[in-house]
Each structure stands twice: as C-alpha cells, then as structure tokens.
Structure 1
Amino acid sequence: MTDELFDDSCEENEFDQALQEADQESVDQDVSSWTQVPLESITGLSYYPNRLPLDLQNQITNVLPKGLFSGTNSGRQLHLYVPFPEPIQRLNNYLPSEFLSDVWKNQPAEASIIQVYNPGDGIIPHKDLDMFADGVAIYSFLSDMTMVFKLPSKKLKCDVRLQKGSLVVMRGPARYEWLHEIPFRGGDWISSSSQDNATASNQTWTPRNQRFSITMRRIVENHTFG
C-alpha cells in the first residue's frame, strides 16, 4: 500500500532533465581562509530546531518507499507534486506564518523533493533552479547533518547544523545570492561554542548516519515543463 502512494506519476522526467541541464553555480576553492559568519547575519536565512513533532517524523518516514533507503547508491531522490500524499501534506502546517504570508502569499508548497543522504554523500554548492519561486523550506529527518552556506564574492561562509526534526528556510538574498551545499564526507566537525567563535580546538568530529530531507518549493507562475 505504501509504495502505491508514490507511483511513476510522482517522478517528472522533464523536471529531472531540467535539473541536469541547469547551470548550477559551484565553486571548487579552498575556503579555509574565508570568514565564518553567524546564521543571523545572512539576510533571509532562518533556522527552526525541533520544528516537527516526533510522531509526524515517524509517520512520514514510514510512509516512504522502503527502497528509497536501501543500498549504497548516492543521489537517491523522489520528486513529488501536489497533491502530496498524507502525511507529507501536513508539512505545510509547520511553515512559519510570516514566511507563508510574505513569501508564498498564503499558498502551500507545489513541489517537493525527498533526498536521501548516506554517510559520505553530499550536494555541490549551488543555488536553486530559476523555475522555483522565492522561498525554500527544508525539513530534516533521521539524523543531523551540517549544511554550508557560501558567499564567494565576499569570501564568507556559515555552517548550519540541520538537526533531526528541524526546518531551515531560505528567502531573498539567502535564496538568490548565497550558495548552499552539503560537503561530501563521512562526518562533520561540531563546535562546542557559537558558530562565529569556532576554532579547531573546540570542535569534535561526529560521524554521520543516514539522513533524508524534504525540500518544499513553489513553482514560478506560468512556468511550463518541456
């Protein structure tokens, strides 16, 4: 029954092709000398820990196709479009009210992508595709992982620890100017102090576990595939 909720109609070949052909901005640079800045200094970036109740996290995890989590292949993902299956539809209820009113004009998400990360998996530095409107909401499940935001023009970076059950929201400059990535590595350095005061002496290497995210977006008005 679970797998029937996610039939082939949920996966859009045209959307996949658009992702592959998109001119994603990426950088292959040594950022060790870049200035680490706090999350609060990035306009349009907001983080909400413990956003989702544990029972909803478990319900969503259990309703997803089991094959999505098996094997060791990287890049496993699933594209969904409205109407979303229950209980994924309920994620709209946990979006911040000011985000819904100011950015999405009180409209729910139209597209979502479920992305599975095993230890060692990641995603290159990029900005979201232009086919998506302003406002990106990312929920995290199963375990914690660090996302890195970068502003190459000013050599700024910000490490954001995405905890299980958390929500991170990007709008405005955070969505259109900053790159975001998940480094390809088996773990993350976790600081025992604030982000802007982190040093090598107060960081601990923490191995990663399997994680998945659900990223929710709206599509640019009048955009068509193909």
Structure 2
Amino acid sequence: MDAILRAPHLPPGVLYFSDFLSCAEEETIRFRLDAGEWSNILKRRVQHFGYLYDYKARAVAADAYLGQLPEWLQTLAKRLVASGYCADQPDQVIANEYLPGQGISAHVDCVPCFSDTIISISLLSQCEMVFRERSSSRSLPVLLQPRSGIALTRTGRYDWTHEIPARKSDIVLGAKVERGRRISLTFRKIVHDAG
C-alpha cells in the first residue's frame, strides 16, 4: 500500500504518495528514456510525449500533437487513474532530467492548457520541491523520494507555485544529502480548446 502524506505538511489539494514505482520499473523507464532522444531546449534536458508544450508561448499549439503516449506511459497513466490520483487519463507527459545543481523556477502549470490535476513521478534521486502560496509569504518544502509521486489539484494546483531549487544537495533530517541525477515524469491532460 502506498504511504500517503497529507496536510499540514502539504498545501491543500496536494497529495504525496511513495512507492508508486518498483525499483525494476524505475530502471526500465530510465533505460527507455535514455534510449530515446533528449532535447536541450532548456537548461535541463527534456522529452515530450503526446503533445509538445511550447515553453516560450506557455501554450499547447493546435499542431502540437505528437501521437498517442507510448504503451509504457499509457500503462502508468491508467495506473494513476485506477489508484484514484486523477479522474481523467493523462495524454501528455514531459520527462525532465535534473543533474545536481539544476532545478526549475517557481511556476503554476499553464492553466488554460491542462486540466485540474498535475502529477509528477520522481526517479533515481531525491530532491526538495518548495511550494509557495501566491497570496502570502508562506512556503512548504516537500522531500520527493525516488519512485514517489505528487499530485497537484484544486488550491495546490492554482494558488501555490512549485519549484525545485537549483542546488547540489538538500538537508534531510538535519543532514546534508547530495543529489544525484533525477528524472521526473509529469503527467497532464490537455484541455483541447487551449490551442
């Protein structure tokens, strides 16, 4: 059974769940991604599946469709629905690679582009994600462990930003823990009139 973390450690509408993937699944996914083509369009490497997201326009264009998710990603998307983490099956996935020292700035995933649930699955290395309430100075750090997932819905999706601080280590239980290579799989459902 997945261990689930809830408030007060998380913003409202955010759910953290551990052990979504087995170690064997994690290694298979890493192998599949590394056998694919990573893009260097950002400071970190990425791969898009289902639809291409335009980072400059912050939109999903009408011609952004890349094809159905590969079967291995469809299997994970179906598992997210079956486990109750999202209602609608995701049809867009971005794989992000983070090397030690890399992160992503505070943001809210494109509101008109994607439906109400955003899910990120972490692979290979732990890292800290920081949530910041947009209407105040309140922040909540969450340690993302390998093979875990985090779902952003409702208030946690729209009223809080999330970021991965760009650093080489995190403080875990008072001890400095070095980051390794991390891959995240972000699952989203396209709002089809967004383009």
Q: 1:86 to 1:58 in 2, by over 3 A?
A: farther
Contact 2:86/2:117 (8 A) holds in 1: no
1:39-188 equivalence runs, <5 A: 39-40=9-10, 42-66=11-35, 74-81=43-50, 82-95=67-80, 97-101=83-87, 104=88, 108-130=89-111, 131-188=113-170
CA displacement at 1:223 relative to structure 2:
2.5
Bigger helix share? 1
**Which position in structure 2 is the counterpart of 1:27?**
none
User: Structure 2, unaligned stretches of length 5 or more?
Assistant: 1-6, 51-66
Q: What amino acid maps onto 1:84 in structure 2?
A: L
Task: Please identify runs of 4+ aligned residues in structure 1 that moved more than 2 A.
Answer: 37-40, 65-69, 96-101, 221-224
Distance 1:68 1:123 in 2: 21
CA displacement at 1:67 relative to structure 2:
7.1
Contact 1:124/1:183 (8 A) holds in 2: yes
Q: Which moved more, 1:153-162 or 1:87-96?
A: 87-96
Distance 1:92 1:66 in 2: 21
TM-score by length of 1: 0.69
- 1:72-105, Cα deviation, whole Å (9 max, x unpaired): x83111111052223222211331543333xx3x
The structure with the largest alpha-carbon Rg is 1
Q: What amino acid maps onto 2:191 in structure 1?
A: V
Distance 1:91 1:205 in 2: 32
TM-score by length of 2: 0.79
Q: Secondary structure at the match of 1:112?
A: strand
Q: Which moved more, 1:113-122 or 1:75-84?
A: 75-84
Distance 1:65 1:118 in 2: 14
What is the aligned length? 170
Provide the aligned C-alpha RMSD in A. Answer: 2.3
CA displacement at 1:50 relative to structure 2:
1.0
